[in-house]
Structure 1
Amino acid sequence: MINRRQLLGAGAAGATLVSSKAWGQTMNMGLPEAAVMDSALTQAPTRPTSGPDYNPVVTLNGWTLPHRMNNGVKEFHLVAEPVERELADGMVARLWGYNGQSTGPTIEAVEGDRVRIYVTNRLPEHTTVHWHGLILPSGMDGVGGLSHPGIPPGKTFVYEFDLTKSGTFMYHPHGDEMVQMAMGMMGMFVVHPKDPEFMRVDRDFLIMLNAFDIDPGTYIPRIMTMTDFNLWTWNSRIFPDIDPLVVNQGDKVRVRVGNLTMTNHPIHMHGYDFKVTCTDGGWVPEAAQWPEVSIDIPVGAMRAYEFTADHLGDWAIHCHKSHHTMNAMGHDVPTLIGTNSTNMTRQIRREQPEFMPMGTAGMADMGEMSMPLPNNTVPMMAGWGPHGPLEMGGMFSVVKVRQGIDADDYEDPGWYENPPGTEAYEWTGELPDFAQNHSPKTQITPKPTSKG
């Protein structure tokens, strides 16, 4: 057997022989390579070298699982196992995932393909894989105890089915699902249209919404959390360590977003309106596509939207639930806005001289101040832009539209420099009179002076 650490250290793919049991049939055979990934950076797309042409997806802070052809069947090898994932610089989580990472690698294939997916279980308990949204035989659906027995630790099962429709789908366990998904076991499954020109775009980004509850200073998620998650992530990364979506001006761009958290997420993108073109149920006909600037992603669902990148700049993209753009949320922290903390601060500093009062005038100072934190903890707000702290975290990134970006170039181009006359600036001249509501039931606080 090849040592797992040797594989991860090499950052390459390795193959082992595993005793494979598939519903009563024991098969001793060479499995497809169990490719692994130890980088948390966005990997360049893998373009097809045979079969129908398609434009591959780019998994933000992720990668695509390689396959091999075997008598016309595309074979993949997923390994369910404990993993370590760098959620952000300075914070590592001990999770469960696939092939060295959480979230797992994206599986890509083409409508009409027959796929054979070997799933090796290296977890301490049984598992399954449910192919969320795919149309397939009942026995391949991955619901433990219903579709087939759970995959015991140390065993490999085989899933094999035809891809009858194109679209964006997900995969996750349906055995001890609450625990295994809370530990990070999930991934995306993209089926490209058989016709290469159908719904073709220039850039195709993929985001999985997931969340964890990890106490400051610890490494393992709390699995019994129902709603009070404190780390909201995209592909198991949190801002400011989520990569940007790099786009060439004029590109037609698709963003596919899947949600396997415990709540919905209204994804909002600045600078553009877009059309919703796909759900996990299928493609939306052109006449039925609707315009948005925010699209709500329900629990257990996927949405895709498209736009043409006409407008140069750095454009925020984020969940519009404000707490979901924060890190390490402390749900029991009191609100101190308007509080006079002078006496309290004086008393605390007798015991803790380095104490700094925060939050009496809002929380923006959290973005600028670098306070000591427990090991393996990220600040509530982080990230700096060209004009100061961004005061963001969690589910946030930037769409960077530039001229001259090559087709396979996804490197961060740096910050956009606003052309003269296109940036907000301080006004020091005379102000116009401002409008007031003169209703007797409305009071303005503080009351304006005659000078404004």
Structure 2
Amino acid sequence: MLIQPIDYFLAFWFAIAAASTLYVGFDQYRNNPEPVVMKWGFILVTLYMGPLGLLLYVLADKEPRPGEHEAFTRPLWKQGVGSTIHCVAGDATGIILAAVITATLGLPMWLDLIVEYLAGFAFGLFIFQSLFMKSMMGGTYWENVRKSFLPEFVSMNFMMAGMAPVMSFLMMGRDMRAMEPTELLFWGVMSIGVIAGFTLAYPANVWLVARKLKHGLMTQRPQAVKPDQETRHAHDGASDMAEEGHAGHTGKAAPAKAQARASHAAHPAQQGGHSSHAAHGSGGHRMETDATTPQIASLSVVSLIALAIGMMAPANWLNLTLSAREVGGAIMPPGMIMDRDTPAAAMRDMAAVDPRLVSFKADPAAQGGAVLEPRIENGVKVFDLEASVIRWSILPGVEVEAFAYNKQVPGPTLRVTQGDRVRINVTNRLPESTTVHWHGLDVPNAMDGPAYVTQKPIEPGETFSYEYTVEQSGTYFYHTHDHVDRQQALGLYGALIIDPKNPADAITADLEYTVQLQEWLKREGLTFPSMPMDGGFPNFFTINGKSYPATETINMKVGQLLKIRFVGSNTTAIHPMHIHGGPFQVVAVDGATLPQTARYTADTVNVGPGQRFDVLWRALRPGKWLLHCHIPHHTTNNNVEEKGGGGLTMVIDVN
């Protein structure tokens, strides 16, 4: 599922990469006079680098017209491309294979980088060069390993110096789907890493070719020759050596028996008047470098320094102790500050809800907080709650991925009477564990709900039954108590209204309305849990799961009395809730009814997270009277007013 704009770009990129690779493969085998190992070098690099690989092939290696490959590939910059291609094809293949394995095994990022380096170096040296080129290079396998070690070491160091920081910063940036091999983003990061590695390794490869420490591009044409016929080879223009070369290899060229299958450059003039001859008794061709020992040593040291910087520098900004198993797939909110000390748990808690986990899309007009009728079993009132991931509309055109009870936000209202025996069966359909806490209620400790404190969390697919006798009355609410900052912020809460056993103790009114407050963070098409920290501040606010102007309207008549139950089901801020059209009387706080002498008149009450206030408001005059939070930003939608308000705003329409 494509859930971010980058996913669509990557899908397009890899489609172009596939087409480019098919073209290069077809043209190499049909038209280009090159050994098989170089054909596969360009094919693999084009697969990794997409159209950039195709561009390199066309500009540096593709024979423009029949018989011109030798002259076309002679310039040093093209020979450097060929040398780098062979290095990248082998090394990148080893690196990518190692990255997939280490991510699957859940190795930390710092160890992942080390394993990738060793795998890339081993694959490039022992397989792509010494093994695949043995028949062309002559000599024994271990002779080729020895001769190839130094140029491969230098080239690999520069390549990994380019790839390592790219992989570190992009994989462990905001969108850590890049750590998962099952995601397009992982392969996109690998592609960018290969491009960076190629770029950094290219200058060193040009120097290695110029100093005859490595071979570059080559030409191989089938041709019948006499046993004693000399075979000519095209190398780069800087060395004017007519050697049969290949990217990433040094030492001996093709053995004598291979000369019967290949001819490089039909005319000595195409090679600056030079030609090469078989080294008697060696079965191949030798290439003598003019590089001095200090030059080679200096280049090797610089490559090691570059490698060290590329491998270790990211640890100053990133927590490289984390693995794909811990944070892979998480997408962090914009503006979140992540550093080398940020723990995996913090990243998981702040991560966006994966839209692919949504199991239900609510109707845009659906309302939350509907009263849930219980069934009676042996005198016990039984309620069933199911927590799942849904898509919920808070405004026309604005939807959030929410954690919800019974497919609604807020969850259903549970209304019981003081003295009732209740049982609440909670089934977890979330991708993570959860629990339920009965906020403010006096219940047996085993029924209280804090994860790992009073109970084992309810794992995905499990059901847990909470059972207790209700001994209090008033306004309460229930909410998750496992990763509360994440799950409650995403919608796992609901009202719990307990009527007094003695009806005379009830505070009655003509109408009653429950106001459950909530904050949301919706950015870049994703829903994040809102939190009072960098990157976590909310930009949408809801009353009973809706933002104004989608909030409900309370319809009344002049003289009627309205009872409002304010519930601080939110997790981030204190909301000063204010009603226009006259003051109200505060009659209950946190579920406890205030005695007559303690009740007070106000027009604003500060509702903090977890608090509840019952207030009585009488409609004195006709008109549309606002009920809203008195923090102006909380009455906007993504900092924009709509129809005179937004967020924590609703209308009381008095006729």
Render the CA deviation track for 1:110-137: whole Å, top value 9, x for unaligned. 1111111000000011100000011111
Matched residue type, 1:395 = L
* Aligned match for 1:202, one of 492, 510, 533: 510
Q: Which runs of 5+ in 1 are unaligned?
A: 1-35, 44-60, 330-379, 384-389, 403-452
Shift of 1:271: 0.5
Q: Which runs of 5+ in 2 are unaligned?
A: 1-359
What SS class does the counterpart of residue 314 from structure 1 fall into? strand
- TM-score normalised according to structure 1 size: 0.62
Task: Answer whether contact 2:390 2:401 (CA < 8 A) is retained.
Answer: yes
Task: Answer whether contact 2:576 2:605 (CA < 8 A) is retained.
Answer: yes
1:218 matched to 2:478? The reply is no
How do 1:269-280 and structure 2 match up within 5 A?
A: 269-280=579-590
Judging changes above 3 Å, is the alpha-carbon distance between structure 1 residues 107 and 40 closer, same or farther for their aligned structure 2 residues? farther
Task: Answer whether contact 2:579 2:625 (CA < 8 A) is retained.
Answer: yes
Matched residue type, 2:651 = V
Count the aligned residue pairs: 292
Render the CA deviation track for 1:341-362: whole Å, top value 9, x for unaligned. xxxxxxxxxxxxxxxxxxxxxx
In the aligned structure 1, how far is the partner of 2:558 from the partner of 2:503? 22
Shift of 1:193: 1.3
* Aligned match for 1:82, one of 389, 393, 416: 389
2:551 corresponds to: 242
Task: Answer whether contact 2:519 2:530 (CA < 8 A) is retained.
Answer: no
In the aligned structure 2, how far is the partner of 1:318 from the partner of 1:224? 21
1:9 corresponds to: none
1:393 corresponds to: 646
In the aligned structure 2, how far is the partner of 1:225 from the partner of 1:233? 17
Judging changes above 3 Å, is the alpha-carbon distance between structure 1 residues 248 and 114 closer, same or farther for their aligned structure 2 residues? farther
Task: Answer whether contact 1:83 1:102 (CA < 8 A) is retained.
Answer: no
1:67 matched to 2:374? The reply is yes
In the aligned structure 1, how far is the partner of 2:401 from the partner of 2:457? 23
Task: Answer whether contact 1:273 1:293 (CA < 8 A) is retained.
Answer: yes
Matched residue type, 2:619 = A
2:418 corresponds to: 111
How do 1:18-417 and structure 2 match up within 5 A?
A: 38-39=362-363, 62-197=369-504, 198-215=506-523, 217-222=524-529, 226=533, 228-259=537-568, 260-329=570-639, 380-383=640-643, 390=644, 392-402=645-655
In the aligned structure 1, how far is the partner of 2:444 from the partner of 2:378? 21
Shift of 1:253: 1.2
Task: Answer whether contact 1:84 1:101 (CA < 8 A) is retained.
Answer: no
Task: Answer whether contact 1:92 1:219 (CA < 8 A) is retained.
Answer: no
Over the matched positions of the two proteins, sequence identity in percent amounts to: 34
What SS class does the counterpart of residue 382 from structure 1 fall into? coil
Judging changes above 3 Å, is the alpha-carbon distance between structure 1 residues 37 and 99 closer, same or farther for their aligned structure 2 residues? farther
Matched residue type, 1:211 = E
Higher helix share: 2
In the aligned structure 2, how far is the partner of 1:393 from the partner of 1:236? 13
What SS class does the counterpart of residue 411 from structure 2 fall into? coil
Render the CA deviation track for 1:70-117: whole Å, top value 9, x for unaligned. 121111000011011110111111111110112111111111111110
Matched residue type, 1:275 = Q
What SS class does the counterpart of residue 287 from structure 1 fall into? helix
In the aligned structure 1, how far is the partner of 2:417 from the partner of 2:405? 22
Judging changes above 3 Å, is the alpha-carbon distance between structure 1 residues 136 and 273 closer, same or farther for their aligned structure 2 residues? same
1:368 corresponds to: none
Shift of 1:170: 1.1
Judging changes above 3 Å, is the alpha-carbon distance between structure 1 residues 399 and 324 closer, same or farther for their aligned structure 2 residues? same
Task: Answer whether contact 1:209 1:261 (CA < 8 A) is retained.
Answer: no
Shift of 1:310: 3.1
Render the CA deviation track for 1:150-208: whole Å, top value 9, x for unaligned. 01110110001111111111111111111111222111111011222321222110011
In the aligned structure 2, how far is the partner of 1:40 from the partner of 1:247? 25
1:438 corresponds to: none
Judging changes above 3 Å, is the alpha-carbon distance between structure 1 residues 92 and 303 closer, same or farther for their aligned structure 2 residues? same
Shift of 1:39: 5.0
In the aligned structure 2, how far is the partner of 1:116 from the partner of 1:396? 35
Judging changes above 3 Å, is the alpha-carbon distance between structure 1 residues 108 and 298 closer, same or farther for their aligned structure 2 residues? same
Render the CA deviation track for 1:283-330: whole Å, top value 9, x for unaligned. 11111100001111122211110022232211011000011011113x
Render the CA deviation track for 1:264-292: whole Å, top value 9, x for unaligned. 11101001211101111411111110000
CA RMSD in angstroms comes to: 1.8
Judging changes above 3 Å, is the alpha-carbon distance between structure 1 residues 276 and 40 closer, same or farther for their aligned structure 2 residues? farther
Task: Answer whether contact 1:251 1:308 (CA < 8 A) is retained.
Answer: yes
In the aligned structure 1, how far is the partner of 2:364 from the partner of 2:574? 25
Matched residue type, 2:566 = V
Indicate the larger mover: 191-200 or 254-263: 191-200
What SS class does the counterpart of residue 164 from structure 1 fall into? coil
Higher strand share: 1
Render the CA deviation track for 1:367-415: whole Å, top value 9, x for unaligned. xxxxxxxxxxxxx1212xxxxxx2x11111111112xxxxxxxxxxxxx
What SS class does the counterpart of residue 276 from structure 1 fall into? strand
Matched residue type, 1:172 = H
In the aligned structure 2, how far is the partner of 1:241 from the partner of 1:218? 20
Judging changes above 3 Å, is the alpha-carbon distance between structure 1 residues 393 and 223 closer, same or farther for their aligned structure 2 residues? closer
In the aligned structure 1, how far is the partner of 2:641 from the partner of 2:384? 38
What SS class does the counterpart of residue 317 from structure 1 fall into? strand
Which one scores higher on RCO, CA 8 angstroms, separation ≥ 6?
Answer: 1
In the aligned structure 1, how far is the partner of 2:365 from the partner of 2:497? 20
Task: Answer whether contact 1:37 1:99 (CA < 8 A) is retained.
Answer: no
**Greater Cα radius of gyration, structure 1 or 2:** 2
In the aligned structure 1, how far is the partner of 2:638 from the partner of 2:559? 38
Render the CA deviation track for 1:24-79: whole Å, top value 9, x for unaligned. xxxxxxxxxxxx99456587xxxxxxxxxxxxxxxxx5311121111211110000
What SS class does the counterpart of residue 616 from structure 2 fall into? strand
